[in-house]
Amino acid sequence: MTSATPATIPAARTGIWGWMTTTDHKKIGLLYGVTAIVFFVVGGVEALFIRAQLALPNGEVLSADAYNQMFTMHATTMVFLVVMPLATAFINYFLPLQIGARDVAFPRLNAFSYWLFLFAGLFLTISFFVGGSPDAGWFGYAPLSTQLDEVVRMDYWALGLNTLGVASIVSSVNFITTTLTMRAPGMSLMRMPVFSWMSTIVSFLLLFSLPMVAVGLFQVYFDRNLGTLFFDAAGGGDPVLWQHLFWLFGHPEVYVLILPAMGIVSEVLPTFSRKPLFGRNFVIFSGIAIGFMGFGVWAHHMFTTGLGPVAEAAFALTTMFIAVPTGVKIFNWLGTIWGGRLQLNSSALFAIGFIFLFVIGGLSGVTHSISPADSQQHDSYYVVAHFHYVLFGGAIFGVFSGIYYWFPKVTGRLLGERLGKWNFWLMFIGMNLTFAPMHMLGLNGMPRRTYRYGEGLGFDMWNLVATVGSFVLAFGVLLFLMNAWRSYRRGEAAGDDPWDARTLEWSTTSPPPVYNFAHIPEVTAEDDFWHRKYGVDEQGRAARRDDYVPVDQSTPPPGLHLPSPSYYPILGSFGIFMMITGLVYVPWGLLATGAGAVVTLWGMFGWSMEDLVREHH
């Protein structure tokens, strides 16, 4: 292979088949993003049903059974099929770009993760049409989740979640390997952009937390189908074991949901304040600290389980303690804005909205660490208010900030600002109208997960306000979808670097070429791209370099080999889909499971015999 060889860009990259066989991290990132937005609408409609039912006392919209399915699937969808894949979408698209790589470490494995995620999401959704959706809560507390008279609903849940877990573990291995081995020359770990850092920490959290809930989910499945006694108190089992296994995953999961948003905000605010992130290393080390401490607070979800005063005191303390590295970041962001020239566009608005709402959610969260007070708040709407402030006000606002920030890089067009501001304010007001009243409802004693409440208990007004708020919120999301569609069709052309930004993804074209960079950048500083554009003048202020010339990214470098498309990832993951579908309907379904195993083996075998790069000239 001489250097005069023309670049090899694989053929067959267009059309549906092109998407199904793609191994390009950017296309896979887009697939994750679009799929997650579709599920966001599904989960949102479920939420609207819940709010419609609760709008007035003695609601008639849903039956008790339908209500149970709605709140279970709303949470399951939003956590596993919306926030996690939205984060994965950003990581897929921007981690390789930010660290100056051509792709992730294992492009086909990356495609496999996506297809497995999609099939598991469909699997969970299918359950709705064949006997009802899962209905024992997203936490699936045993023995409720192991009761046999619920037909197959919780089998769908246990198997679906486990499959999503496998997809996440696989992509975590992929991202960690990418970060550790694929960074551009000079891109030391401490020079990595903060979003890439948070992505890596999230990957480690998933890597170590998912196997624990996987064991629990297998035990639930075996209790339901094999007659094991893991969570059967009458047979000597212990349902509290499930709570431990679930929350050992479930609490790190909370940080899995929020850390990517924190990473996004840490990219957005410096760019629009035109200042480096204040205390950058501190933000990174706080993220690492959260990653470690996240594994030591799980039992604060179990203060009413009866763990005893010593355990409760210990977990109360660790819970208060983990608020420190989380709280510190608030000051890092405020310090970044302080004295900067803040440009208040939609992306920055969402980032500031994130800080505002996350502080409220964080403070109500710390109140849970006081275990006596928590016993009062437990299973009340106060908890619902808290986690929606951190997950909607936090994670979703962060993600929206990221969408407004990176949309021009992905599509080459700016998202409309006018609709963007409407989108922000409607979501911001709607979000507060919906969830702020729940603080009052909870403290006044309204329990979670009850499908109706009686008249005259003092719950009427705030519930109506919350329902009105939820529809305002939904309207805001609708405006976003319109904005995205319109801007994608005929938005203002963005150019390569519309925000005059700081990190490497902005140094390539919008959208980036399939090979990402014509020349792999040599990194010499944190925020390397900024330093290529700006020097320092006599007063110590940033001054545009006269000699800065953008690198031409349009000509592929000679001798470049990109991963070829492959249909084995989708084949292998479809086999797993067949396997889990069969496992729901033991014993006859085992035929489908066997057939699925053959398909998966076929996919894996073909995969291992196929060269990654096949277009040799």
Partner 1 sequence: MSEHTAVDTNAEHHADPDVVRKTAIWVFLGSEVLFFGSLISTFLLYRTRIGDGPGAEVFDIPFTSVSSFVLLMSSLTMVLAHHASTRKDWRQMRVWLLATAMLGMVFLAGQVYEFTEFVHEGLTVGTSPFGSSFFVLTGFHGAHVAVGVILLLGTAFMSFAGRFRPDEGMNVEMVGLYWHFVDIVWIAIFTIVYLLQV
Alpha-carbon torsion, ordered 286, 288, 291, 294, to 10 deg: -40
Nearer Cβ to partner 1, position 533 or 561? 561
Nearer Cβ to partner 1, position 226 or 310? 226
Nearer Cβ to partner 1, position 541 or 616? 616
- Among 180, 189, 591, 598, the residue binding partner 1 under the rule CB under 8 A is 180
In whole angstroms, how close is the CB of 559 to partner 1 at the nearest point? 5
- Contact between 4 and partner 1 by CB under 8 A: the answer reads no
Site string for partner 1, 306-345 (x = CB under 8 A): ----------------------------------------
- Among 464, 560, 586, 597, the residue binding partner 1 under the rule CB under 8 A is 560
Total residues binding partner 1 (CB under 8 A): 63
- Among 264, 316, 561, 600, the residue binding partner 1 under the rule CB under 8 A is 561
599: tokens are: 């398909």
Nearer Cβ to partner 1, position 16 or 226? 226
Residues 344 to 373: which contact partner 1 by CB under 8 A?
none
- Contact between 604 and partner 1 by CB under 8 A: the answer reads yes
Whether the Cβ atoms of residue 313 and residue 219 lie closer than 8 Å to each other? no
Q: Which stretch binds partner 1 (CB under 8 A): 167-175, 376-384, 390-398, 587-595?
A: 167-175
**469: Cβ–Cβ under 8 A, 6 or more apart, which residues?**
429, 430, 431, 432, 433, 434, 435, 437
- Among 14, 58, 181, 554, the residue binding partner 1 under the rule CB under 8 A is 181
32: tokens are: 């994750």
In whole angstroms, how close is the CB of 187 to partner 1 at the nearest point? 10
Site string for partner 1, 201-240 (x = CB under 8 A): ------xxxxxx-xxx-xx--x---xxxxx----xxxx--
Q: How far apart are CA 496 and CA 549, in angstroms?
A: 13
Radius of gyration of the chain (CA): 25
* Amino acid at residue number 386: H
Q: How far apart are CA 590 and CA 127, in angstroms?
A: 18
Nearer Cβ to partner 1, position 165 or 365? 165
Nearer Cβ to partner 1, position 61 or 161? 161
* Amino acid at residue number 226: L
Q: What are the two backbone dihedrals, phi and then psi, of residue 514, each rounded to the nearest 5 degrees? A: -60, -30
Nearer Cβ to partner 1, position 35 or 178? 178
- Contact between 104 and partner 1 by CB under 8 A: the answer reads yes
CA distances from 488 to 94, 410, 460 (A): 19, 10, 42
In whole angstroms, how close is the CB of 313 to partner 1 at the nearest point? 23
- Among 144, 173, 320, 342, the residue binding partner 1 under the rule CB under 8 A is 173
Q: How far apart are CA 431 and CA 600, in angstroms?
A: 44
Q: Which of 223, 246, 225 is nearest to 236 (CA)?
A: 223
Q: Which of 425, 426, 404 is nearest to 416 (CA)?
A: 404
Q: How far apart are CA 320 and CA 297, in angstroms?
A: 9
607: left (phi over 0), alpha (psi -120 to 50) or beta: alpha
- Contact between 559 and partner 1 by CB under 8 A: the answer reads yes
- Contact between 143 and partner 1 by CB under 8 A: the answer reads no
Three-state SS annotation for 304-325: CCCCCHHHHHHHHHHHHHHHHH
340: tokens are: 């900067």
Nearer Cβ to partner 1, position 211 or 445? 211
Q: Which stretch binds partner 1 (CB under 8 A): 84-92, 99-107, 141-149, 574-582?
A: 99-107
Partnered with residue 493 across adjacent β-strands are: 413
Q: Which stretch binds partner 1 (CB under 8 A): 282-290, 326-334, 580-588, 603-611?
A: 603-611
Q: How far apart are CA 416 and CA 193, in angstroms?
A: 27
Positive or negative, the CA dihedral 254, 260, 266, 271 is negative
Nearer Cβ to partner 1, position 100 or 469? 100
Footprint of partner 1 (CB under 8 A): 1, 3, 100-109, 169, 172-174, 176-177, 180-182, 184-185, 207-212, 214-216, 218-219, 222, 226-230, 235-238, 241, 245, 248, 519-520, 557, 559-563, 604-605, 607-609, 611-613
